[in-house]
A and B are shown apart, each in its own frame.
Chain A
Amino acid sequence: MDWQLVWDSFPLIWKGAQFTITLTAWSLLFGTAGALVLALMRLSSVKLLRWFAAGFGWLFRGIPLLILLFFAFFALPDLNVGPVDGVLLEPFQAAVLALSFWTAAYQAEVIRSGIIAVDPGQAEASEALGMTKAHYMRKIIIPQGLRIMVPPYIGNSMTLLKQTSLTTLVTVPEMTLLTQRLFSNDFQFQERIAALAILYLALTTVFVVAQQVMERSFRLKV
């Protein structure tokens, strides 16, 4: 293995990191917002909302992300329902759309399990104090649930970052696509793929460290 070539690959591949990182950031933003809504729907007293959220989770956790990506990129331009006549998305937009739906489905489970893990006595006490449900969810239950949600939330976010590599297949020029372009020109598979793996490892290790820091800062002080 030619380590000089590995070293020289870093700046070339790193150009794709802006896509890897912005894809992760946007999908995490939209996905988390969707997940919060879905989690509250799952916990709602209205049966229809509960069913919708459960169906959404079953659907988007049961289908591979790659199928979602291909659907957003290849099938949406053909979609013809009512006033919609073809949704043509840029590769990056299609990727954010698919990744956001996928993130929402997984993070909804994290948020829901965090909320139900909070002692039901807290909700009862809040009600006894005359708080409305919207009020005590926001001020009492969700802040306590956060401590439980943080580790799996960050774990899922790290998975999301790794999954952005699949957007190569819908032609988003992120790190994996740039690497494939490099090694299809010079056939230096070992060095190029090693450089790519090292860059991913560096990015995901940031999440592992963030997870440890957050867990420490959220620990109960007794």
Chain B
Amino acid sequence: MREFDWSVIGRSGDLLMAGTRLTVGLFLAALVLATALGLILALMRLSPVRPLRWFAGTYIWIMRGIPVFVTLLFAFFVARDLPGFGWLTPIWAGVIGLGIDGAAYKAEIIRAGIMAVDHGQHEASEALGMTKAHYMRRIIIPQSIRVIVPTYMSNSILLLKATSVAVGIGLVELTGITRQLSNSTFRPIELFTAAAFIYLVLTTVLVLLQEFLERRFALKT
């Protein structure tokens, strides 16, 4: 008969916090990369130039069709051997793997948001003599934000949880440190419960942020 010993969490507190910091860091860096690449891919898919549309469509099909774990393996084992990628440390491989995978989802979300803006807005902007680059930036994209926010945020919650997959390429983020601690202390129940709790706190913060942003961008009627 084994008793629970929750004091192990207090004794592992510093390491769990270090793991949490890496999880949050990976998440934020991957989110920036995914959003920037996703915006570029979305604009390519909406471009009148066929090769651009075709390239973005293929990229999205591939990235959405393979597991993020495989993308991470690619970033970790393959990309570092490519010329000019000598700087690719495991952490950067994690950021890039998560970022290029996330970009495919962000691209579809941004594209759907842009397409949801009434077509009359394009026509009106053109009638006022604005260039396409100008009215996309000033008229269309700002209006699409309202449509983009809910799906963008729930997708970002998935990205936060996907950072745990980085344990598969040896990163010691929250899941990785928990596994190591559980192996050395033989307290898997207590430690994995603590990790689950930390993830729940992080994802719940994002849910609250989503609700705040949805209210902030709601149409005032």
Question: How many contacts between A and B, using CB within 8 angstroms?
Answer: 111
Other-chain contact of A70, B66, B161, B175 (Cβ < 8 Å): B175
Residue A123 lies at the interface, judged by CB distance under 8 Å to chain B: no
Q: Are B67 and A63 in contact (CB under 8 A)?
A: no
**CA–CA, A58 and B207, complex, Å:** 10
Q: Which of B37-45, B85-93, B141-149, B189-197 contacts A (4 or more CB under 8 A)?
A: B189-197
Residue B168 lies at the interface, judged by CB distance under 8 Å to chain A: yes
**CA–CA, A190 and B70, complex, Å:** 12
Other-chain contact of B179, A59, A74, A166 (Cβ < 8 Å): A74
Task: List residues of chain B with CB within 8 A of the CB of A183.
Answer: 77
Task: List residues of chain A with CB within 8 A of the CB of B77.
Answer: 183, 189, 193
Residue B46 lies at the interface, judged by CB distance under 8 Å to chain A: no
Q: Are A78 and B196 in contact (CB under 8 A)?
A: no
The majority secondary structure among interface residues of chain A is helix
Other-chain contact of A59, B189, B195, B200 (Cβ < 8 Å): B200
Q: Are B67 and A71 in contact (CB under 8 A)?
A: no
Q: Are B65 and A190 in contact (CB under 8 A)?
A: no
Q: Are B66 and A201 in contact (CB under 8 A)?
A: yes
**CA–CA, A104 and B162, complex, Å:** 19
Q: Are A166 and B189 in contact (CB under 8 A)?
A: no
Q: How far is the CB of B91 from chain A (nearest CB, A)?
A: 18
Given A66-B175, A67-B195, A78-B188, the answer on whether A162 and B68 have CB atoms closer than 8 Å is yes
**CA–CA, A163 and B165, complex, Å:** 10
Q: Are A176 and B200 in contact (CB under 8 A)?
A: no
In chain A, residues 158-206, which have Cβ atoms closer than 8 Å to a Cβ of chain B? 162-163, 165-166, 168-169, 176, 179-180, 183, 189-190, 193, 196-197, 200-201, 204-205
**CA–CA, A109 and B132, complex, Å:** 39
Closest chain A residue to B3, Cβ basis: A80
Chain B interface size band reads: 35 or more
Q: Are A200 and B65 in contact (CB under 8 A)?
A: yes
Task: List residues of chain B with CB within 8 A of the CB of A163.
Answer: 67
Q: Are A67 and B192 in contact (CB under 8 A)?
A: yes
**CA–CA, A66 and B90, complex, Å:** 19
Residue A65 lies at the interface, judged by CB distance under 8 Å to chain B: yes
Residue A29 lies at the interface, judged by CB distance under 8 Å to chain B: no
Other-chain contact of A168, B68, B168, B200 (Cβ < 8 Å): B168
Given A74-B188, A165-B70, A197-B70, 9 more pairs with CB closer than 8 A: A61-B203, A67-B178, A75-B193, A78-B186, A169-B168, A180-B73, A189-B78, A190-B78, A201-B66
Sorted nearest first, the 7 A-B pairs with minimum C-beta distance are: A64-B164, A189-B77, A162-B67, A75-B188, A165-B67, A64-B161, A204-B65
Q: Which residues of B contact A (CB under 8 A)?
A: 1-2, 61-62, 64-70, 73-74, 77-78, 81, 161-165, 167-168, 175, 178-179, 182, 186, 188-189, 192-193, 195-196, 199-200, 203-204
- Can you offer 30 A-B residue contacts whose CB atoms are under 8 A? A59-B200, A63-B196, A63-B199, A64-B161, A64-B162, A64-B164, A64-B199, A65-B164, A66-B164, A66-B175, A67-B195, A70-B175, A70-B182, A70-B192, A71-B188, A74-B182, A74-B192, A75-B192, A75-B193, A78-B2, A166-B168, A168-B69, A176-B69, A176-B70, A179-B73, A193-B70, A197-B62, A201-B61, A201-B65, A208-B65
